[in-house]
């Protein structure tokens, strides 16, 4: 089946620094990828839609200048958390696929801890 790889699986950074998370579709091309965040014991919240070769579309309430998304190729999207603060600590998950009724496939997530 389709595989989505996410890296790193966990990261600890200091407040004020930036962190980049990569999401790759390993065996298919993805013109669209999605980024979610998840707080403990909560459901996944869609942050943004990443579009290959164009600007990402952010959900209401998500700061586009804080969560920079780049989708430079058909197999790679990156999410950069800029000037991270402790409240940005969360579980970030990417997904790809879903065209024509096919299911989305998800990465295994990145646990970000900002100290």
Could you say whether residue 7 binds another protein (CB under 8 A)?
no
Residues 75-94 close enough to bind another protein by CB under 8 A: 91, 93
| Strand, helix or coil for residue 86 | helix
Could you say whether residue 54 binds another protein (CB under 8 A)?
no
Q: 46 and 56 in contact (C-beta within 8 Å)?
A: no
Q: What is the DSSP letter of 40?
A: T
Could you say whether residue 100 binds another protein (CB under 8 A)?
yes
Could you say whether residue 20 binds another protein (CB under 8 A)?
no
Taking the least distance from each CB to another protein, the nearer of 11 and 82 is 11
Q: 21 and 13 in contact (C-beta within 8 Å)?
A: no
Task: Return d(Cα 68, Cα 79) in angstroms, integer.
Answer: 6
Could you say whether residue 53 binds another protein (CB under 8 A)?
no
Least gap, CB of 44 to another protein (angstroms)? 4
Q: 4 and 25 in contact (C-beta within 8 Å)?
A: yes
Of positions 17, 29, 99, 113, contacts another protein by CB under 8 A: 99
Backbone angles phi, psi at 100, to 5 degrees: 60, 30
List contacts with another protein (CB under 8 A).
Answer: 1, 4, 6, 32, 34, 36, 43-46, 49, 57, 91, 93, 95, 98-101, 103-109, 111
């Amino acid at each position: 089946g389709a595989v989505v790889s996410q890296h790193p699986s966990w990261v600890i950074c200091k407040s004020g620094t930036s962190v980049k998370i990569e999401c790759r579709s390993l065996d298919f091309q993805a013109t669209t990828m999605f980024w979610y965040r998840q707080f403990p014991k909560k459901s996944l919240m869609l942050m943004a839609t990443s579009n290959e070769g164009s600007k990402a579309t952010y959900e209401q309430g998500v700061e586009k200048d804080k969560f920079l998304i780049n989708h430079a190729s058909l197999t790679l999207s990156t999410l950069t958390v800029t000037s991270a603060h402790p409240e940005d600590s969360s579980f970030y998950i990417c997904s790809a696929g879903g065209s024509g009724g096919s299911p989305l496939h998800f990465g295994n997530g990145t646990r970000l801890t900002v100290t």
